[in-house]
């Protein structure tokens, strides 16, 4: 059993559950924010390949972020998070990564001494490229009335815009606030994990364009193993805040097809700390509604039979 599987256990077979008998391995993204440089190459590549229209290019006034968040016209969003820390608390993540890359095998196995923070300023940037999570339990799929949203053979979730009726049910259903409607026609749009490229044996445009391999693409099980090893190595190098987000199948959405290595709490990155599939309670709600309807029907019949004649 591999390192990642020991940590989390196997992922559900979402493609098989969707009816694909001979599906390939589930594919996904592992975004390592510890090596993201905020270049936005992923945003540009995503827009160019998928013909996603520009979204205003308006700076927020709070950072170098000109897209602000995921939406119908932003399928990859690079966040710039400015933090002030004391010199004694700061750890140079990039220096830690450099030391990991150049360390001898014994050090790489966990014998690296903690990184010394001398020379750092009190300001650091956290940068992260956000994307649709392609949830294991995807509420957007549950609520779509037309079948516009579907699960692919790669385990990803895709919108067929040509049969989307613009109802918007999927928008509040997403626990991450990813999917959105375009103002001109009301149809829903989001990351497809470059479904057309996957079918041709190519990697998604954003991962292809990433110069630091912050965005890694491949079979989800392999990515989880790689991510667990990366966290262990960063911890050994003194980056104790490193943690995985969305990798566990035991979370409220059954694990994500796109998960992240973060250097702070999820809320710092604008991510919910404990996401839950919003349709989790639908079966119980329908069951209670059915029981209530039966009870009302029985009362109506009883009342009718008791009427004086």
In this prediction, residue 111 carries a pLDDT of 37
Full DSSP string of 45-106: HHHHHHTPPP------SSSS-SS-S-BTTBSEEEEEEEEE--TTT---HHHHHHHHHHS-HH
Contacts 24+ apart (CB under 8 A), 18-21: 18/150, 18/151, 20/153
Tell me: the pLDDT tens digits for 232-251? 999 999 899 999 999 998 88
Tell me: the pLDDT tens digits for 255-266? 999 999 999 999
Report whether pLDDT(101) > 50.
Answer: yes
Which has more pLDDT, 84 or 101?
84
Helix H or strand E encompassing 150: strand 149-151
Task: Provide mean pLDDT across the span 180-196.
Answer: 94
Whole-structure pTM value: 0.78
């Amino acid at each position: 059993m591999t390192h990642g599987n020991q940590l989390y256990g196997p992922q559900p077979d979402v493609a098989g559950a969707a009816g694909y008998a001979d599906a390939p391995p589930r594919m996904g993204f592992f975004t390592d924010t510890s090596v993201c440089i905020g270049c936005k190459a992923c945003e540009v590549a995503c827009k160019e390949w998928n013909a996603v229209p520009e979204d205003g290019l308006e700076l927020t006034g709070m950072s170098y972020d000109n897209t602000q968040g995921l939406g119908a016209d932003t399928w990859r969003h690079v966040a710039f998070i400015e933090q002030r820390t004391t010199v004694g608390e700061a750890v140079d993540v990039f220096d830690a990564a450099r030391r990991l890359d150049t360390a001898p095998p014994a050090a790489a196995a966990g014998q690296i001494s903690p990184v010394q923070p001398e020379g750092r300023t009190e300001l650091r940037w956290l940068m992260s490229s956000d994307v649709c999570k392609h949830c294991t339990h995807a509420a957007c799929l549950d609520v779509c009335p037309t079948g516009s949203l579907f699960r692919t053979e790669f385990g990803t979730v895709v919108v067929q815009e040509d049969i989307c009726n613009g109802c918007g049910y999927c928008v509040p259903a997403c626990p991450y606030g990813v999917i959105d409607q375009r103002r001109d026609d009301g149809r829903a749009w989001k990351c497809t994990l470059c479904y057309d490229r996957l079918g041709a044996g190519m990697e998604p445009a954003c991962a292809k364009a990433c110069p630091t391999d912050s965005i890694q693409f491949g079979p989800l099980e392999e990515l989880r193993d790689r991510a667990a090893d990366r966290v262990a190595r960063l911890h050994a190098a003194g980056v104790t805040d490193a943690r995985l987000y969305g990798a566990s199948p035991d979370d409220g959405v059954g694990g994500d097809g796109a998960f992240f290595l973060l250097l702070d709490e999820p809320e710092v990155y604008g991510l919910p700390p404990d996401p839950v599939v919003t349709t989790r309670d639908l079966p119980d709600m329908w069951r209670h509604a059915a029981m209530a309807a039966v009870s009302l029907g029985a009362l109506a019949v009883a009342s009718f039979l008791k009427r004086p004649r």
